[in-house]
Amino acid sequence: MDIKNKSITSREDDFAKWYTDIVTKAEMAAYSKIKGSIIIEPRGYAVWENIQRGLDKMFKDTGHENVYMPMLIPESLLQKEANHVEGFAPEVAWVTKGGNNDLEEKLGLRPTSEVLFCDYYSSKIQSYRDLPKLYNQWCNVFRWEKETRPFLRGREFLWQEGHTVHETSKEAEEETHRMLNIYKTFFEEYLAIPVITGRKTEKEKFAGADYTLTVEALMYNGISLQSATSHYFGQRFSIPFDIKFLNRNGEYENPYQTSWGTSTRMIAAIIMVHGDDNGLVLPPRIAPTKVVIVPISKSEEVKNKAYELLNNLKDAGISTIVDDSEKSPGFRYAEHEMNGVPIRIELGPRDLEKNQVVLARRDTYKKSIVPLEANLVNEVNTLLDDIQKNMYETAKARNAEKTYECTQLDEVAEIMENRPGFVKAMWCGEEECEMKFKEIRGTKSRCIVDNEKPIDDKCICCKKEAKHLVYWGIQY
Amino acid sequence: MDIKNKSITSREDDFAKWYTDIVTKAEMAAYSKIKGSIIIEPRGYAVWENIQRGLDKMFKDTGHENVYMPMLIPESLLQKEANHVEGFAPEVAWVTKGGNNDLEEKLGLRPTSEVLFCDYYSSKIQSYRDLPKLYNQWCNVFRWEKETRPFLRGREFLWQEGHTVHETSKEAEEETHRMLNIYKTFFEEYLAIPVITGRKTEKEKFAGADYTLTVEALMYNGISLQSATSHYFGQRFSIPFDIKFLNRNGEYENPYQTSWGTSTRMIAAIIMVHGDDNGLVLPPRIAPTKVVIVPISKSEEVKNKAYELLNNLKDAGISTIVDDSEKSPGFRYAEHEMNGVPIRIELGPRDLEKNQVVLARRDTYKKSIVPLEANLVNEVNTLLDDIQKNMYETAKARNAEKTYECTQLDEVAEIMENRPGFVKAMWCGEEECEMKFKEIRGTKSRCIVDNEKPIDDKCICCKKEAKHLVYWGIQY
């Protein structure tokens, strides 16, 4: 595509600026007066609603129920699990006043709700008959971060957090993997974002977890994004929170827990994986508007035809709008490209004469002519599927290009400096070697994978025996 | 019904205790460690999700879009509209610390989001072409109340708040009425709760509004509940917040605004209007589980039949469960009655022999026998409709019984002391007379109605000329 929307920075010139330009120009979000908190505007929120709808159905289909916990956490409750409080305390914002009175105990704005769920479970669970508990909540959370960026990192953001309790470690571990796979499926099939999955190192795992599984995505610029996580807690929370159940042998036992979550950060991933120099590119499965019909003439006939097509598409459940505003066709094209609408239908007097419409796809800009005697609904549905698939394949091909195998640390340095991406390298398992990567533009382990072939038998750093194949990357 | 579930207090003995018993025994909500904040449990949250789905569709069908505003409000922003801050400041909780640092300006937990929307609109709106803005958000809000009760009044609760901006006062006033009517329709058609609607007096209107329209419901015990409100602001916010648009005459003008909201308080209304001594009674349209099938024998045949019926009903989109747990049939009946499931299907070996099932309705406890060759899906759907209708009619008849016309204040006193309900009485419009009612068990004006015939020409208090017919009541 030659034409470039001049109202936004080019992706190649300044990726960070390009990103925030799209966020604001496509009206996904606006900055607010509250540092680090954004206003999610209608288009951004509609994407979030589609994400919620898709994920929530997958959660419910696997037996999970939604609940709502209080947002405020008494300081004493947050302190019950030592690693957990150590990990989160520096980022907690505190309520100290209610009305005109100072509170006796300060209350934290939830950064995550493990301790609230644990406190609830400790009073609710008595017997193995009460298990499993498979709960999830959709809510706002707070992390008092210094550096923030819309959707990527905010002092307040929206997310879901699942918290489950099981009779056996086996069931809990199965749950941890089940939810990881749900996230992977959702990213790949709904968001058209290929991901790698694996286990976090000890250093990178969730504060308080036994282990953390993660979904990692690669953005267009080769920077990686931790996109969803699923934690196995074992009894690390159930012991300090005194959650106990009478097991099948009539003995009291601490149950086994998991938690898992993903957030509005997914919207950042959509933008940074699929967007281009003309704006947002939304995968059809989560695009609030899938088709925009643009009549390119003011004739009544053309306009009537546009609305006739609108009704046909809407009746078939394809979310469609007509844009017959006063603005020039070119201006309207640019606007809907900015907004990421997957298909534009162009309709002019000559098309009407020839009894046809033009379908322009957002992902490749390719146009095709469809005779009106054809079944437009079918044509559009086929094209939407094709766009969804192509977006995934394009991202996957790019990931393959940006994934490197290294056996020397200086190769990693060269790559991360010049053409960052995922680096696959062998690791001995020692934190000292893991920290060596950090000196290279802050590169961190993304995850340990055990379903890929080792590429060497020695650790890339210390040259001692390698234990794991690890994906490394620079992270957001 | 003779049998009474002994695990809960009787509604006649102690209504307040009966209410909290149902909330906890039907597992709608649990108390949390945070004073005044509840845990909304799966059943309560599933009701809330059905409420959200129903209302959200009505909002979207009338052109509204969802957004998400930050939860924290800088103190200076909250103070921009004088009446508004005066009304809400005493109930605001404040964040004063982020991580280990004291904040420069304290941040309030939103009690409502007018000021955030206004601040956003002031930067977003430039021309009449940008209007109307029809936004809504679903979120948590905070009011630092002293007395709290689950769903009725909490320090944290969930709600929706619509905030709209219009070119003309006429459009904004139409919106105010449109949303009031949506609430009324929703209460009557989904929640089976008959309501009265009208205008709040100056004393009772929303802090900062030009006027407030309200939806008022009457609980089983004759206490009234303000259930939803719709406010017309005129330019009262757009002026101090400097929201301006270039109108069609090329002049700058402050636009006209509305806001409207309802909350998880609706769940309290459902419980207190429909519940009985055996527990919750949920209107079919918002019941998460509409039918429970209880096999009353352990025979494989009966169990198989139960699951066959389950699949038939589920395929027809009727949310159904089978309860084939070990507990006795009577115990299971009581449990699902407590949980408010509209229809119970009983199925035993003799029913199987006779090729029939028993349908027991939750609202009237009446049972009917349905031959299995009949179309069970149709029978169930018809019964669900009938239950929905009957619940509404029952509540409506009770409201009629508990609505009184008075022309003397001592009649009001006698009624409110012995058999509270809605009192209709004429009012001169003076606050002094309005305050006279407050001496009677705190009775307050519910709303001014103008679509009913005046019952007198004199004010019930001062005997001067009456201006308005007013509904009065004791409120939650």
Decide if A144 and B32 are in contact by the 8 Å CB cutoff. Answer: no
Is residue A227 exposed (0-12), middle (13-18) or buried (19+ Cβ within 10 Å)? buried
Nearest CB to A67: which of B41, B67, B155?
Answer: B41
* pLDDT value at residue A312: 96
* pLDDT value at residue B316: 97
Question: Which pair of structure tokens corresponds to residue A374?
Answer: 């054809």
Position A457 pLDDT exceeds 50? yes
DSSP letters spanning A352-392: HHTTEEEEEETTT--EEEEETTS-HHHHHHHHHHHHHHHHH
| Fold of the domain spanning A289-385 | Rossmann fold (3.40.50)
CA distance A7 to A277: 10
DSSP letters spanning A158-193: EEEEEEEEESSHHHHHHHHHHHHHHHHHHHHHTS--
pLDDT digits (tens, 9 = 90+) for B119-147: 999 999 999 999 999 999 999 999 999 99
Domain ranges for chain B, please list them.
Answer: 15-274, 284-386, 403-473
Nearest CB to A32: which of B40, B66, B70?
Answer: B70
* pLDDT value at residue B86: 87
Give the least confident one: A309-313, B78-82, B354-358.
B78-82
| Fold of the domain spanning B403-473 | Translation Initiation Factor IF3 (3.30.110)
pLDDT over 90, % of chain A:
94
Contact A193, A272 (CB under 8 A): no
Chain A CB contacts of B123 below 8 Å: 30
* pLDDT value at residue B3: 56
Chain B CB contacts of A99 below 8 Å: 89-93, 144
The residue of chain B nearest to residue A158, with distances taken between CA atoms, is B68
Query: What mean pLDDT, rounded, does chain A reach?
Result: 96
Decide if A95 and B109 are in contact by the 8 Å CB cutoff. Answer: yes
**Which of B32, B79, B103 to mutate: most A Cβ within 10 Å?**
B32
Nearest-neighbour CA in chain A from B460: distance (Å)? 37
CA distance B472 to B457: 17
Nearest-neighbour CA in chain B from A39: distance (Å)? 5
What is the average pLDDT across B168-186?
A: 98
What is the average pLDDT across A100-125?
A: 96
* pLDDT value at residue A2: 45
What is the average pLDDT across B379-398?
A: 98
Decide if A68 and B106 are in contact by the 8 Å CB cutoff. Answer: no
**Which of A24, A25, A37, A39 to mutate: most B Cβ within 10 Å?**
A39
pLDDT digits (tens, 9 = 90+) for A72-86: 999 999 998 888 888
pLDDT digits (tens, 9 = 90+) for B244-262: 999 999 999 999 999 999 9
Decide if A37 and B71 are in contact by the 8 Å CB cutoff. Answer: yes
The reply to whether omega before B288 is within 30° of 0 (cis) is: no
Question: Which pair of structure tokens corresponds to residue B403?
Answer: 């609505």
CA distance B242 to B236: 10
Give the DSSP H/E element, type plus range, for residue A405: strand A403-405
* pLDDT value at residue A4: 65
* pLDDT value at residue A425: 98
Same fold, A15-274 and A403-473: no
pLDDT digits (tens, 9 = 90+) for A2-33: 456 778 999 999 999 999 999 999 999 999 98
Position B448 pLDDT exceeds 50? yes
Position B6 pLDDT exceeds 90? no
Give the DSSP H/E element, type plus range, for residue B222: none
**Which of A79, A95, A107, A145 to mutate: most B Cβ within 10 Å?**
A95
CA distance B355 to B376: 12
Chain A CB contacts of B124 below 8 Å: 30
Nearest CB to B72: which of A34, A67, A106?
Answer: A34
CA distance B246 to B374: 65
Nearest CB to A99: which of B67, B68, B90?
Answer: B90
pLDDT digits (tens, 9 = 90+) for B200-253: 999 999 999 999 999 999 999 999 999 999 999 999 999 999 999 999 999 999
The residue of chain B nearest to residue A108, with distances taken between CA atoms, is B95
| Confidence band of B1 (pLDDT split at 50, 70, 90) | very low
Give the least confident one: A109-118, A367-376, B77-86, B458-467.
B77-86
pLDDT digits (tens, 9 = 90+) for A256-304: 999 999 999 999 999 999 999 999 999 999 999 999 999 999 899 999 9
Decide if B30 and A120 are in contact by the 8 Å CB cutoff. Answer: yes
pLDDT over 70, % of chain B:
99
The residue of chain B nearest to residue A288, with distances taken between CA atoms, is B65
Decide if A94 and B97 are in contact by the 8 Å CB cutoff. Answer: yes
DSSP letters spanning A422-467: EEEEEE-S-HHHHHHHHTTTT-EEEEEESSS--S-SB-TTT-SB--
Question: Which pair of structure tokens corresponds to residue B145?
Answer: 């109340």
Position B2 pLDDT exceeds 80? no
CA distance B108 to A98: 9
Decide if B96 and A97 are in contact by the 8 Å CB cutoff. Answer: yes
Nearest CB to B66: which of A49, A94, A97?
Answer: A49
The count of CB pairs under 8 A between chains A and B is 137
Chain B CB contacts of A67 below 8 Å: 39-42, 45
Chain A CB contacts of B74 below 8 Å: 33-34
Decide if A42 and B33 are in contact by the 8 Å CB cutoff. Answer: no
CATH number for the region B284-386 comes to 3.40.50.800
CA distance A217 to A395: 10
CA distance B186 to B193: 9
Position A319 pLDDT exceeds 60? yes
Nearest-neighbour CA in chain B from A217: distance (Å)? 26
Nearest-neighbour CA in chain B from A433: distance (Å)? 31
| Confidence band of A64 (pLDDT split at 50, 70, 90) | very high
Nearest-neighbour CA in chain B from A172: distance (Å)? 20
pLDDT digits (tens, 9 = 90+) for A351-395: 999 999 999 999 999 999 999 888 999 999 999 999 999 999 999
Decide if B140 and A71 are in contact by the 8 Å CB cutoff. Answer: yes
Nearest-neighbour CA in chain A from B106: distance (Å)? 10
Inter-CA distances, B410 with A203, B413, B439, Å: 74, 5, 11
DSSP letters spanning B120-163: HHHHH--BGGG--EEEEEEEEEE---SS-BTTTB-SEEEEEEEE
pLDDT digits (tens, 9 = 90+) for B76-95: 999 988 888 888 888 999 99
What is the average pLDDT across B422-440?
A: 97
Report, at the CATH architecture level, how domain A15-274 is classified.
2-Layer Sandwich (3.30)
Query: What mean pLDDT, rounded, does chain B reach?
Result: 96
Tell which residue, A60, A270, A247, A36, has the closest CA to residue A140: A36
* pLDDT value at residue B7: 84
Position A237 pLDDT exceeds 70? yes
- Is the pTM of the predicted complex or chain greater than 0.95? yes
Chain B CB contacts of A107 below 8 Å: 34
Chain B CB contacts of A96 below 8 Å: 94-97
The reply to whether omega before B329 is within 30° of 0 (cis) is: no
Nearest CB to A98: which of B30, B70, B144?
Answer: B144
Position B438 pLDDT exceeds 50? yes
Contacts of B51 (CB under 8 A, 6+ apart): B190, B191, B266, B267, B286
The residue of chain A nearest to residue B28, with distances taken between CA atoms, is A67
Decide if B30 and A109 are in contact by the 8 Å CB cutoff. Answer: no
